[in-house]
Structure 1
Amino acid sequence: MRLALAQGNIELKQFFRTKEALVFTLLFPVMLMIVFGAIFSGIELDGGITLAQYFVNGMIASGFLATGFQNLAISIPIERDRGVLKRYRSTPMPKWIYFAGKSVSVTVLAVIATILLLAVAVTVYGLDLPTSAAKWGTFAWVSVLGLIACTLVGIAFSGLAKSGRAAPAVVTPIALLLQFTSGVFFEYGALPQWMQQFAALFPLKWMCQGLRSVFLPESFAVQEVAGSWELGRTALVLGAWCVGGLILCALTFRWTSKRDG
């Protein structure tokens, strides 16, 4: 455990020394929240819910996607190209420590991103935080399952990138596509049906929906496509992605680039 925490500390130091990663992973969701909140200021959905209050759920879920999937799917291929993974594999350090360090880093970054988003939403847009333990409990398990799924899929996807230079060009469009179809930038129920069906295959849509059940009133559940929050299905889909992501990690992860053999 001490090794895992030490490795996580190294990962965090490397992250905070990279200005580009700091901006696009931690601050970009906050900037989007401010921009969308300013654009849609005063606009309300059915039930008196402001768009700012609706969008904060998607921005939190996008933060998990950024810190888990995007961050790892881009940074790991770069480390592989630089020979960092090859050197790790040749040391006596157990291989799982490397992944544990990544997980510690992702968790810390996700917590920071979520606190920043909630702070902006509460102070600037008057977001009402949940007052019941049940809603915070839902927030906890949706966040944990969603973050685990994003982390595992990010590690698995890192094995598919041909090079570190190509990784951002492959990963970023996928993340944007999921955000546009999963109810992050638009009200999910207003999207075309084919987009809804596409988004329902991936964890981001279910993270957004699960978080809406936390920050929106119960009366808003009828506005969902299924007429309810579908928390049971949310847990099932996110859990399936966790298992599937673990299997994909075992099948696709590579310690060396193709040119290294």
Structure 2
Amino acid sequence: MSTETTSTTPAVRQTAASVPGTWALGLSRGALELKQFIRKRDAVIFTFAFPVVFLVLFASIFSDDVPEAGVSASQLYAAGMVAAGIMSTSFQSLGISIAIERDEKVLRRLRGTPMPPAAYFLGKVWMVLVTGIAETAVLLLVGATLFDLDLPTTAAKWLAFGWIFVLGITGCALLGIAISSLPRSGSTASSVVVLPFLILQFISGVYIPVGTIPSWLLDISSFFPLKWMCQGFRGIFLPESAAVLEPAGGWEFGRIALVLGAWCIGGLVLCLLTFRWKSRRDG
């Protein structure tokens, strides 16, 4: 008995050592998520074209200069639309796709496999990160080429852009995962997720200059990350003279970091409390 146990121990150890870790599985899952996303051409076109089309429309129609700020309305829209594009590829994308996967019992099957649950979410994070970077690059190219959006020229501003991007996309992704549990079925996911996203865009300074938004609506938007991403990107891409348009009269980078950081922590807690592997019909 002891001899048999001893002889099988090396094989067991070798098998255990050959099992990929959570990070490796997450990377593999992320590659799979990207392949699945790219194969859905209509989803790719909608995800990338939607912010670009709205940027071109609003920035072309409302292109007058704002003398007191030393910028054009087109530059304001371009800065805000970068934030909306990030939220589109994270909050909206995850909120809809996870709800559909839950309804089609994909999550239930994955939960029954040896794959660690964290690997599934890491895969989603990698997919969101890649698509978010691609979306942002496209919007910056369009904004700089067509609407004179000034790209940062200093390392400090690029560093600020980096942490706003990372905190913003993380907070929005976690919020998207949390809201994915709200739709009762995959067929209603788009309506449940797109409506609040659309409302947030109007009250957070994406489509309407933040100085003209009623204060009570602006107070509501202050509870969500989109408003602070818009404000942060305006502070990066617009001259200092444009800070007079902000309700506080400045960019408030410290407050932006605190709010977005709080959303990363709060969003994680919200996900842990609300996420469901099975649809409500399955109990």
User: Following superposition of structure 1 onto structure 2, how do residues 206-221 of structure 1 map, counting pairs within 5 Å?
Assistant: 206-221=228-243
Distance 2:256 2:140 in 1: 22
Per the normalisation by structure 1, the TM-score is 0.97
1:93 pairs, out of 95, 112, 115, with 115
SS in 2 for 1:130: coil
Aligned-partner residue type, residue 261 of structure 2: G
Which residue in the other structure is 1:82 paired with?
104
User: Following superposition of structure 1 onto structure 2, how do residues 42-191 of structure 1 map, counting pairs within 5 Å?
Assistant: 42-191=64-213
Distance 1:135 1:234 in 2: 14
Q: Does 1:203 align with 2:225?
A: yes
Distance 1:47 1:249 in 2: 40
Distance 2:67 2:31 in 1: 43
4+ aligned runs moved over 6 Å, structure 1: none
Aligned-partner residue type, residue 111 of structure 1: I
Distance 1:191 1:259 in 2: 41
Distance 1:95 1:227 in 2: 45
Structure exhibiting the larger radius of gyration computed from Cα positions: 2
Distance 1:119 1:111 in 2: 12
Q: Does 1:236 align with 2:258?
A: yes
CA contact (8 A) 2:70 2:242 kept: no
Which residue in the other structure is 2:54 paired with?
32
Which residue in the other structure is 1:247 paired with?
269
CA contact (8 A) 1:183 1:208 kept: yes
Over residues 205-246 of structure 1, what are the superposed CA-to-partner deviations in whole Å (9 max), with x where a residue is unaligned?
A: 001001111001112223210111111111111111111110
Offset at residue 127 of structure 1 (A)? 1.8
Aligned residue pairs total: 261
For structure 2, which runs of at least 5 residues remain unmatched after alignment? Answer: 1-22
Which residue in the other structure is 2:18 paired with?
none
Which residue in the other structure is 1:9 paired with?
31
Aligned-partner residue type, residue 162 of structure 1: R
